[in-house]
A and B are shown apart, each in its own frame.
Chain A
């Protein structure tokens, strides 16, 4: 056992005091020494791509090709993290979770481009997470495609990130796999949400954070979503609109509609803006999309660069 000298003891106390002071200065008490910098996207492509009418797998493949191919984003040996919505114990036909065929196609494309590891992850809400991964069809589809599936259910799976442009959030947590990833692909499903009208790409990022409840209890959930999106930028957003949930979102069961589309873009606001129109809404009618656009995250009136 090491016995501290008086001097060593005073140094340890001083260091502890300093670290407590720094963490106390952060708005939500999570940031401290060693917080990660915001995540920036690799590249920006104007407009969005919409693939329709070919089924989930082929729509995904066609949309990725039309945006320039997965090689544009994924290099040999890259660590890729794919974040679908697999929060709920619902099968794909419920449209409460991302279609496993869309996710599997992305895994295959990344592997074909030479990716080292491809991890598909989410912070699963329903319990137990393992049953959810089975019922959603995600585990089987992803493993068959050569990827790994991970439910990030422990606080230790997360790290603090800075949100310098945030208005309500100045720091928060982000799954450490996403911090470490060379490529991060956000793959939401398009659905209604009783608190935010819709949940698309921007809202799906909420599942990358440890403490959801803090956002719900904040002054504005919509502002938190937009704040977080200033610091957590995916390299690609792939919106699954194979089947959309029209009522009783986010979990359902509710009415669904077959749309048979996959929308891809590097601008998360643009993808969400298009997604809103699938529900007959104007993008500005969805508060967090409007706020995100006003904060300069992306374009609320995107052009469809290609329809395939």
Chain B
């Protein structure tokens, strides 16, 4: 009986903990979602509102001003290759689309591509970074190694995130 109660208690605690995980954090790919990449222990950060300074320090106001509500960031590694993924919940789909345009302009990128409901573009200097938007989610995937491999990997990460974003 005692064991049953204990299991029940553990189950309830587990459910409550899972329920507390913010939605945006659930959009971060799991280990091996992109083959060979594991998550870097201790690298997960979730922040909301002014706490976005935990991710962007003094630069966070640019994000809040442009409609970022919250964000989750995680680092991934494969041998010595590092990838950083940041997904943001925007206040609306329009705010997300506008923020992508803002970054397009910042990076002098004329047009973005579309695939399976995701709009994205890739810049290659100084590092390979893919910027994407799907529904009200805006994200970046940066890879810090040789361009040819990095370009392939950031696309795979973007695809993995896109699959986690529920369709309308």
Q: Do A and B come from one complex?
A: yes
CB–CB A193/B59 < 8 A: yes
A10 is an interface residue with CB less than 8 A from chain B: no
Q: Is the CB of A253 within 8 A of B123?
A: yes
* CB-based contact B43/A253 at 8 Å: no
Q: Does A252 sit within 8 A of B, measured CB to CB? A: yes
Residues of chain B lying within 8 A (CB to CB) of residue A95: 126
Question: What is the size category of the interface that chain B forms with chain A?
Answer: 20 to 34
Is chain B's binding surface mostly helix, strand, loop or mixed?
Answer: mixed
B40 at the interface (CB under 8 A from A): yes
A238–B76 Cα distance when bound, in Å, is 33
Q: How many inter-chain contacts with C-beta < 8 Å in the A-B complex? A: 75
The answer to whether A248 has its CB under 8 Å from any CB of chain B is: yes
Interchain CB contact (< 8 A) of A252 among B53, B57, B61, B126: B126
The A interface, classified by DSSP as helix, strand, loop or mixed, is: loop
Interface residues of B in 74-109 (CB under 8 A from A): 75, 77, 82, 84, 106-107
Residues of B within 8 A of A212 (CB): 53, 57-58
Residue of A89, A93, A194 near B58 (CB, 8 A) is: A194
13 other contacts beyond A127-B42, A128-B43, with CB at 8 A cut-off? A89-B75, A94-B127, A131-B40, A193-B58, A194-B61, A194-B62, A196-B58, A212-B57, A213-B50, A247-B106, A250-B59, A251-B57, A253-B126
Complex Cα spacing A308 to B107, Å: 34
What CA separation (Å) do A236 and B153 show in the bound complex? Answer: 42
Q: Does A221 touch B at the CB level, under 8 Å? A: yes
* Contact among A87, A91, A249, A255 for B127, CB-based, below 8 A: A91
In the complex, 29 of the A-B residue pairs with CB atoms within 8 angstroms, ordered by the A residue number, are: A87-B57, A89-B82, A90-B127, A90-B144, A93-B127, A94-B127, A95-B126, A125-B57, A127-B42, A128-B42, A131-B40, A131-B43, A131-B75, A135-B144, A194-B61, A196-B58, A199-B58, A212-B58, A216-B50, A216-B53, A216-B58, A250-B58, A250-B59, A251-B56, A251-B59, A253-B127, A253-B142, A254-B106, A256-B125
CB 8 Å contact bits of A184-215 with B (1 = contact, 0 = none): 00000000011110010000000000001100
A217 interface contact, C-beta 8 A: yes
A256 x B126 contact (CB < 8 A)? yes
Give me the 9 closest cross-chain CB pairs, A-B, nearest first.
A128-B42, A195-B58, A194-B59, A194-B62, A93-B126, A94-B126, A253-B129, A91-B144, A256-B126
Neighbour of B59 across the interface among A90, A135, A249, A253, CB < 8 A: A249
Contacts of A217 in B (CB 8 A): 50
